[in-house]
Each structure stands twice: as C-alpha cells, then as structure tokens.
Amino acid sequence: MTKHIELLAALDIGDGINRRLEKHVTFADGTTALIPVPFTLVGRDLFIAPAVEPDGNDRAVRINLTSWFFGKFTHGSASPKMAELFVYGDDARKQVGRMCVDFDADPTIDWSAPAERLRKWRQDWLEQNQS
C-alpha cells in the first residue's frame, strides 16, 4: 500500500503573514545552514513537521519521516510556537498529530513551558495513549 504525505513549505493562516519553518542545522565540519522545514497541518493553525537533520559527514540534510515534532502558528507573528518534542517510529506522524491537538487543548501546559516540563508532558501523554 502506498501512503501519501503532503508537506507544505509556507502558509498564510488568514492574516496576510506568510509563515514557514526553518531550522539551523550544523554539519560535522562546523558549518551551519538555515534549512526550510516542511510541515503539514493538523488543525487551522496547528502543524506537525518531520525532523530535519544532518546526514553523515557531508553537507547533506535528511528529512526524517520517522521522527516528528509539533507546533502552532499564531496570528500576527511569523514565528511559530513550537514544542520540539520528537516522537519516533512508524506511527510517529499519526501519534504526534494527536499529541499536538491534545497539547493545545490542555489547560495545564502551555507553549512557553520549560523544556523539562514539556518532556514530562510528552512522556505522560505517551504512557496514557499507547496504542
């Protein structure tokens, strides 16, 4: 069975600001590049994106479709709120999509929480939502 994943490069959520994701990637020789990160929507302003990482010692980049993170575009800002809480594995895309929606709806956590709190939230969510 062939699966199709559509990834976007940029998006306007209705306020005239063109949003895109970018990530600094550092290669083995110390060179850093700002790389566009493709994403897909899981709600009006919520997105998930695959990991973008250096590939080997060369100046190559890999889009890893087995490792995903999530975020939220906000009105009036070109910079998204992101929770770089990676989920790994064959079901990662589906799992992180549900996680993103649950995270955004959870009044006990917010996008600016410290990294340790975000990781704890992810771990608790994964334990409660094992398929």
Exposed, middle or buried: residue 66 (CB in 10 Å: 0-12, 13-18, 19+)? middle
Contact 21, 36 (CB under 8 A): yes
At 25, list the tokens: 């990637």
Confidence at residue 115, expressed as pLDDT on a 0 to 100 scale: 87
More confident residue, 127 or 8: 127
On the question of pLDDT at 120 being above 80, the answer is yes
Q: Give Cα separations from 68 to 17, 59, 95, 107, 125 (angstroms).
A: 25, 22, 9, 23, 15
CA distances from 103 to 39, 82, 114, 124 (A): 18, 11, 14, 11
Alpha carbons within 13 A on the beta-carbon side of 60: 7
- Helices assigned H by DSSP within the chain: 92-105, 115-128
Residue with tokens 């995903």: 68
Mean pLDDT of all residues in 95-113: 92
Tell me the pLDDT tens digit for each residue of 28-74. Answer: 888 899 888 898 888 888 889 998 888 877 788 889 888 888 888 87
pLDDT of residue 130: 78
Would you tell me how many other CB atoms lie within 10 Å of the CB of residue 68?
25
- Structure tokens given for 61: 């980049």
- Mean of pLDDT over the chain: 83
